[in-house]
Every structure is written in structure tokens, then in C-alpha cells.
């Protein structure tokens, strides 16, 4: 197919926007941890830009998108063999497609870091991200988008299943080996700078327009629709989270509003190009309230998913995946269009992905815990990971 | 009346205030400080330049107590501030000063009434 220049321009810009989500995520997470762990937490997002960018070109892209079987792609394109600047994918150069998808491969493992802040060894984090990208991300990406067994079955416009369900449930699974932060539930552990978190939320939302609207892989009417839904769903989710919190605790918090926006962004991701803007508002309202309650439930269950990766990405991603099966009307039919089978397909896709991601993460976590060791010592945790892992401090004043 | 000043590890602050509350010492001033003692410093690295940092972050507690509260206050700080049963270098110190007088600003009360 011939290259369409408008599509190419939009996908290139969208790719840059998605990469811009990484510093956004770093600020979002960095603000929520204690002062002594701010650099370490931000570094979890930054270092992934290095590791996965290289990994993607070397082998990740091939495992996800070259021809393979129902489960995983082949090795035809390792080191991008067989692709040059004249190659095309759809209406865009293949290099633009590789770059755009590479950004998704980068942000996904970085999301997991929010669950493990303040206690995972840096070298073990690097090992985990590397192995997880190859064993979990690449195959699931292949299932849903690359020609695997879920392609054309479960609807996932921009990564509700591939990105958010995988990272959300893996965050929960790795905690089996990492446990809680020292003093969790006893000492006062609170965000050191919520203003950073708010700026990070803004950057994430900005980047997310590339994430969702770019997933149309064309500068067309579907991209505009995805842009609109990405615009209103987080707005509605921020409001519904704030309302729930205001009603529940008597205080509308800035951190709550920001988290609600993120929950809305996550939930609209699988639906972005399949639903109308009004349906997007409904999805956002539901996601804000559901994720708020998931985060409260965490406190009662007593596990330390420090920055609520499961509560926001796992629960929000699943909510979005299921509601896509309800509200889809554009280019697909959901429950409201009389196609109840789609809801079943969404449930099936989500459930298979969850089980696969959890089992693989448990296996990776087990092996790393027995070899490198996952958790830092108690005294290193007390002093903080900035000083003990990196030899720096975030603030020298 | 005595004025108790304690230098402790930052991460022990919550456990010290918990111990103090158990013995009903509920008035205290806290400030972040830095200093050095027997505990060694550490290296920081900025763009491959190594800096030896000798000043360690600590927390300073200041508590004015009536004499009968002195012993429980000290025991509580000691219990809360120790890293483990036997204690570690760097767990901190407690200084006790004679306190001449106290005046409560709002009411003008003086002496042990005002503590």
C-alpha cells in the first residue's frame, strides 16, 4: 500500500507523545513517594526508556509483530532484519509503526514500578523488566494486535488488555515476593510532593492523546473520535472519583482528582475508537468510582501496592475492557448494539491475559528472588533507595 | 523541670512518638537537622564525581518535662529510637538540661503548670 503522508506525520507525532508519558509517569509516581526515594522511583520510569527501546529493536518487535503462531511471533525481524526505510505497514512506513509500538512496550513495564517503589533492588528491577517484556508483553501484544489468537476477537483499541491489565495484575503478583514497605500500616508514609504528581498527571493526559488517537494509525475520523473520547472520559472519571471521595471522606483531594483522571485514561484506552463521546463519559464515571473503591479495598486487604498500580491499571483496565464490550458502536458492536457475544469475548480476553501475566510474573519473581534477591536490606530501605542504590539525593537543600 | 534534647534517626521518629504517647508525654518539638558523630558518612556520585558526605540527616526532638516525667521520657525515647535490641552506632543521643522557667504565652502561667 502507498504511504499516506498525513498518516505518517500523525503516527510519528503520536510516537513522540507516547514517549512523553514516561517523564509524566516519573513525576506522577515520584511525587507520591517519600523524599528519600524520589530519584529511585523516577529512575524506574526513565531506565525503561533505555532498556526496552534497545530490546524492542533487537527482538521485542519481532516476537510481537512478525509472522508466527497463535501464541508468539517469529524471529524473522530480529534486529529489524527485512525492514528498511521503504517498508510499509498499512499506509505508514514500517519504521513509524515499529517506533509507535516500541513506545507502548516501554510504558507498560514502567507502570508496574509503582507497586514496588522504595524496596526493590535496582539490578533486580532491570532484570525483571527485561525478562517481563519478552515473556509477558511481547506474546500478549502478539495475541491481541500481532495476529495471535485474540486478534479480531477481543476489542482493544489502544491497549486496555495489552498494556493496563498485564501491568496491573503483574504489579500485584510481584508483591508476593517483595512484601510491604517497612513500617507500612504502622508509620506515617505519605507523598512528599503532590504538586509533582499533578504535573505528571497533566503530562500523562497530554501524551495519552498520542497513545489513543495515534492507535488509529491514520490521521482520520477514527483518530478524531479516539481523541474526543480520551478528552472526556478522564474528565468524567476525575469528577466521579472526586465526588466519591468527597462523599466518603468529606474532602475532595487533589491527589484523588488526579488519580481519577488516570483511572479514566486507563478505562477509555481499550474503547477509545469504538465508542461515542457520550459513552466515553459513562465509562469515565464508572471507572472513577470503581477504581476509588478498589483503592480503598486495598487498605482493608492489607497488601502494599504502594502507588495503586493494580487498583488503577488492573481494575481500570478490566473495567474499560468489559465496558468496551457494552458500549462499542463504531466499527464494532457491543451489548448495547445487541451483540452480547462481544462482552463474552472481552471477558475471555481479559481473563486469559490476567492468568497468563500472573503466572509468568510469579515465575520470574521466584527465580529472581532466589538468584539476585528482589528486596533491599532493611537498613537500605530505612536510608532510602536514592542514596543506597544510586548514590544521589533528589533534593540538596 | 528538665529540657530534653534527643538526636535520632529520621526513620525512628514515628516509633519514638508512639512510645512517648504511651507514657503520656504529648508535647514535643521536632526539627530536621544534620550532623556527624561516630557513624561513618557515605559517598554520593554526581556525573562520576564522588563526594564524601559526612553530614548525616537526623531528627532533633526537644521536650520540656517536669521532673517526675523525666525517667519515662528517656526510657521511651531510648526504646523507640533503637534500631534493634542491642542498638547500633548512629541511633543517636539524649541530652538533658536544667530548665529555668516556662511561660505559657496564652495564659501567662509559669513554671511546671505551664509545661
User: Using DSSP, how many helices (H) and how many strands (E) does chain A show?
Assistant: 17, 2
Tell me the pTM.
Answer: 0.94
Nine-digit cell string for A229: 473520547
B11 and A391 within 8 Å at the Cβ level: the answer is: no
pLDDT, tens digit, for every residue of B72-114? 999 999 999 999 999 999 999 999 999 999 999 999 999 999 9
- Residues in A touching B15 (Cβ below 8 Å): 187
How far is A340 from A63, CA to CA, in rounded Å? 33
Alpha carbon of A48 to those of A25, A131, A174, A372, B87: distances in Å? 12, 12, 17, 19, 39
- Domain count for chain B: 1
**What's the gap between Cα A3 and its chain centre?**
30
Beta carbons within 10 angstroms of residue A297's beta carbon: 11
- Residues in B touching A183 (Cβ below 8 Å): 11, 14
A186 and B42 within 8 Å at the Cβ level: the answer is: no
B45 and A187 within 8 Å at the Cβ level: the answer is: no
B11 touches chain A (CB under 8 A): yes
Nine-digit cell string for B52: 564524601
CA distance B31 to chain A (A): 15
Backbone CA torsion sign across A119, A122, A126, A128: negative
Q: What is the pLDDT of residue B48?
A: 80
Which superfamily does A5-390 belong to? Ammonium transporter AmtB like domains (1.10.3430.10)
B46 and A392 within 8 Å at the Cβ level: the answer is: yes
Q: What is the pLDDT of residue A43?
A: 98
pLDDT, tens digit, for every residue of B12-29? 999 999 999 999 998 999
Q: What is the pLDDT of residue B37?
A: 83
Residue from A383, A385, A397 to probe the interface with B (highest B Cβ count within 10 Å): A383
B11 and A382 within 8 Å at the Cβ level: the answer is: yes
Q: Which of A151, A168, A193, A71 is nearest to A110 (CA)?
A: A168
Q: Which residue has the higher pLDDT, A81 or B115?
A: A81
How far is A40 from A392, CA to CA, in rounded Å? 9
User: pLDDT in tens for each of the 397 residues of chain A?
Assistant: 799 999 999 999 999 999 999 999 999 999 999 999 999 999 999 999 999 999 999 999 999 999 999 999 999 999 999 999 999 999 999 999 999 999 999 999 999 999 999 999 999 999 999 999 999 999 999 999 999 999 988 999 999 999 999 999 999 999 999 999 999 988 889 999 999 999 999 999 999 999 999 999 999 999 999 999 999 999 999 999 999 999 999 999 999 999 999 999 999 999 999 999 999 999 999 999 999 999 999 988 989 999 999 999 999 999 999 999 999 999 999 999 889 999 999 999 999 999 999 999 999 999 999 999 999 999 999 999 999 999 999 998 7
**Domain spans in chain A, listed from the N-terminal domain onward:** 5-390
Q: Residues of A at the B interface (Cβ-Cβ below 8 Å)?
A: 182-183, 186-188, 379, 382-383, 387, 390-393
A392 → closest Cβ in B14, B15, B45: B45
How large is the ipTM? 0.82
Q: What angle do CA A238, A244, A201 make, to 5 degrees?
A: 25
Q: What is the pLDDT of residue B49?
A: 85
Domain with B58, as residue range(s), is 2-114
Q: Which of A269, A264, A265, A259 is nearest to A307 (CA)?
A: A259
B99 and B3 in contact (C-beta within 8 Å)?
A: yes
Q: What is the pLDDT of residue A396?
A: 85
CATH of the domain at B94: 3.30.70.120
Q: What is the pLDDT of residue B40?
A: 82
Q: Which of B69, B34, B68 is nearest to B53 (CA)?
A: B34
Residue from A43, A185, A192, A382 to probe the interface with B (highest B Cβ count within 10 Å): A382
Please state, rounded to an integer, the average pLDDT across all residues of chain B.
93
Beta carbons within 10 angstroms of residue A79's beta carbon: 12
3 state DSSP class of B81: helix
How far is A39 from B44, CA to CA, in rounded Å? 13
CA distance A187 to chain B (A): 6
Q: Which residue does chain B place closest to A187, by CA atoms? A: B14
Amino acid at each position: 500500500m502507498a504511504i499516506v503522508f498525513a498518516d505518517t506525520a500523525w503516527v510519528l507525532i503520536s510516537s513522540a507523545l507516547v514517549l512523553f508519558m514516561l517523564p509524566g509517569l516519573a513525576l506522577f509516581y515520584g511525587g507520591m513517594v517519600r523524599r528519600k526515594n524520589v530519584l529511585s522511583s523516577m529512575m524506574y520510569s526513565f531506565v525503561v526508556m533505555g532498556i526496552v527501546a534497545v530490546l524492542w529493536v533487537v527482538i521485542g518487535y519481532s516476537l510481537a509483530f512478525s509472522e508466527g503462531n497463535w501464541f508468539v511471533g517469529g524471529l524473522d525481524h530480529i534486529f529489524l532484519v527485512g525492514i528498511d526505510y521503504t517498508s510499509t505497514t498499512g499506509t505508514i512506513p514500517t519504521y513509524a509503526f515499529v517506533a509507535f509500538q516500541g513506545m507502548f512496550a516501554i510504558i507498560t513495564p514502567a507502570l508496574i514500578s509503582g507497586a514496588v517503589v522504595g524496596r526493590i533492588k535496582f539490578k533486580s528491577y532491570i532484570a525483571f523488566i527485561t525478562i517481563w517484556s519478552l515473556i509477558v508483553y511481547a506474546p500478549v501484544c502478539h495475541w491481541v494486535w500481532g495476529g495471535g489468537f485474540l486478534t479480531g476477537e477481543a476489542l482493544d483499541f489502544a491497549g486496555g488488555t495489552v498494556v493496563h491489565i498485564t501491568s496491573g495484575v503483574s504489579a500485584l503478583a510481584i508483591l508476593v515476593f517483595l512484601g510491604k514497605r517497612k513500617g507500612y500500616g504502622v508509620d506515617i508514609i505519605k507523598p512528599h510532593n503532590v504538586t509533582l504528581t499533578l504535573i505528571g498527571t497533566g503530562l500523562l493526559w497530554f501524551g495519552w492523546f498520542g497513545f489513543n488517537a495515534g492507535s488509529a494509525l491514520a490521521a482520520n475520523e477514527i483518530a478524531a473520535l479516539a481523541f474526543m473520547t480520551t478528552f472526556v472520559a478522564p474528565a468524567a472519571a476525575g469528577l466521579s472519583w472526586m465526588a466519591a471521595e468527597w462523599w466518603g471522606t468529606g474532602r475532595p483531594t487533589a491527589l484523588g482528582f488526579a488519580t481519577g483522571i488516570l483511572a479514566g485514561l486507563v478505562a477509555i484506552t481499550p474503547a477509545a475508537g469504538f465508542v461515542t463521546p457520550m459513552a466515553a463519559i459513562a465509562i469515565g464515571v464508572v471507572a472513577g468510582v470503581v477504581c476509588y473503591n478498589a483503592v480503598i479495598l486495598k487498605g482493608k486487604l492489607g497488601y502494599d501496592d504502594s502507588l495503586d498500580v493494580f487498583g488503577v491499571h488492573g481494575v481500570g483496565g478490566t473495567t474499560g475492557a468489559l465496558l468496551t464490550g457494552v458500549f462499542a458502536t463504531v466499527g464494532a458492536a457491543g451489548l448495547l448494539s445487541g451483540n452480547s457475544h462481544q462482552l463474552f469475548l472481552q471477558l475471555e480476553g481479559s481473563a486469559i491475559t490476567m492468568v497468563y501475566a500472573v503466572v509468568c510474573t510469579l515465575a520470574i519473581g521466584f527465580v529472581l528472588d532466589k538468584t539476585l534477591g528482589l528486596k533491599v536490606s532493611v537498613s537500605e530501605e530505612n536510608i532510602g533507595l536514592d542514596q543506597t542504590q544510586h548514590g544521589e539525593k533528589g533534593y540538596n537543600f | 523541670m528538665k529540657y530534653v534534647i534527643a538526636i535520632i534517626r529520621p526513620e525512628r521518629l514515628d516509633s519514638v512518638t508512639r512510645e512517648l504517647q504511651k507514657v503520656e508525654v504529648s508535647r514535643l518539638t521536632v526539627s530536621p537537622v544534620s550532623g556527624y558523630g561516630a557513624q561513618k558518612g557515605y559517598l554520593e556520585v554526581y556525573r562520576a564525581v564522588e563526594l564524601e558526605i559526612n553530614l548525616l540527616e537526623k531528627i532533633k526532638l526537644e521536650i520540656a518535662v517536669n521532673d517526675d516525667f523525666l525517667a519515662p521520657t528517656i526510657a521511651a525515647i531510648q526504646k523507640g529510637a533503637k534500631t534493634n535490641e542491642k542498638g547500633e552506632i548512629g541511633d543517636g543521643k539524649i541530652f538533658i538540661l536544667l530548665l529555668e522557667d516556662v511561660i505559657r504565652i496564652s495564659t501567662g502561667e509559669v513554671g511546671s503548670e505551664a509545661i
